[in-house]
Amino acid sequence: MAEHCARLWVAESPKDLVLLGRDPAKTERVAQDLRVRSLQSTITVQTTDFLDPQRIRAYADHVVAEGLPDIVLIAHGSLPEQMACQQDLLLCGEALAVNGVSPALFAEAFAGHLQHANSGTIAIIGSVAGDRGRKSNYVYGAAKGLVTRYAQGLQHRLAGTNVKVVLIKPGPTDTPMTAQLKGKGAKLADVAGVAKAIVDGVTHGTPVVYAPGKWALIMMIIRHLPRFVFNKMDI
């Protein structure tokens, strides 16, 4: 999703982008594609430890020292197998950390800098899975529920400033992360369309962006189903 957002941004006008990834080779391939699409843009690739709070803090401080970012898009994550997480607490802990704690730490590391400057946007990709715990993916959903509550609190903290916090809640989307779902025949949203919704939401500072938009209605229904009805559903 972040890659397609970057494509849209460089298509608008030349941009100065810093791509932070866990896999330097993969991140460099994304950078090379963006450089071809926008010869006048500056695309830099960096890496850090996504689970080390001290490294995350040091990275944010380093980026801000080079120049305050206009947009911080936090888009990393993984889609764990629910059954595997139930059977292996190490996998469970990693899934919760990568998908919940880590995004919150990155946002927190940048929030103070943007608040001090009274400008900028923090966009965090959560998930519709965080709206209500379901047996099929409640570990992943719990992590994304943490992201939702964190983003709400950060929005409240920054409500009196010019800093915007955008929480993005995609439904199942056709990306490498969901390849296993696609292999099982799941219907997935087009990633380019989801990226367009994200970019539009960031541009307008929309507090919560469901992508595609139909998920706002779907999840409102799921959130409000009585427990005795919900517990009979195989979802």
Same domain for 41 and 52, yes or no, is no
pLDDT of residue 81: 96
Pick the closest to residue 214 from 172, 164, 186 (CA basis). Answer: 172
Same domain for 217 and 101, yes or no, is yes
Query: Do the domain assignments include residue 135?
Result: yes
pLDDT of residue 64: 97
pLDDT of residue 45: 97
Mean pLDDT for the chain?
A: 96
Point out the domain boundary residue: 45, 64, 80.
45
Per the structure, how many domains does the chain have?
2
Same domain for 38 and 65, yes or no, is no
pTM > 0.85: yes or no: yes
Same domain for 12 and 52, yes or no, is no
Q: Give the domain CATH number at 87.
A: 3.40.50.720
Query: Do the domain assignments include residue 235?
Result: no
Question: Cα separation of 149 and 82, whole Å?
Answer: 22
Question: Cα separation of 203 and 212, whole Å?
Answer: 17
Same domain for 155 and 73, yes or no, is yes
With a cut of 50, which residues of the chain have pLDDT below it?
A: none
pLDDT of residue 187: 87
Query: Do the domain assignments include residue 223?
Result: yes
pLDDT 10s digits, 124-139:
999 999 999 999 999 9
Same domain for 151 and 213, yes or no, is yes
pLDDT of residue 200: 98
Domain span at residue 25 reads 1-45
Same domain for 2 and 69, yes or no, is no
Same domain for 15 and 59, yes or no, is no
Strand extents, DSSP E, the chain: 16-21, 42-47, 71-74, 121-125, 164-170, 208-211
Same domain for 112 and 29, yes or no, is no
pLDDT 10s digits, 196-235:
999 999 999 999 999 999 999 999 999 999 999 999 999 9
Query: Do the domain assignments include residue 94?
Result: yes
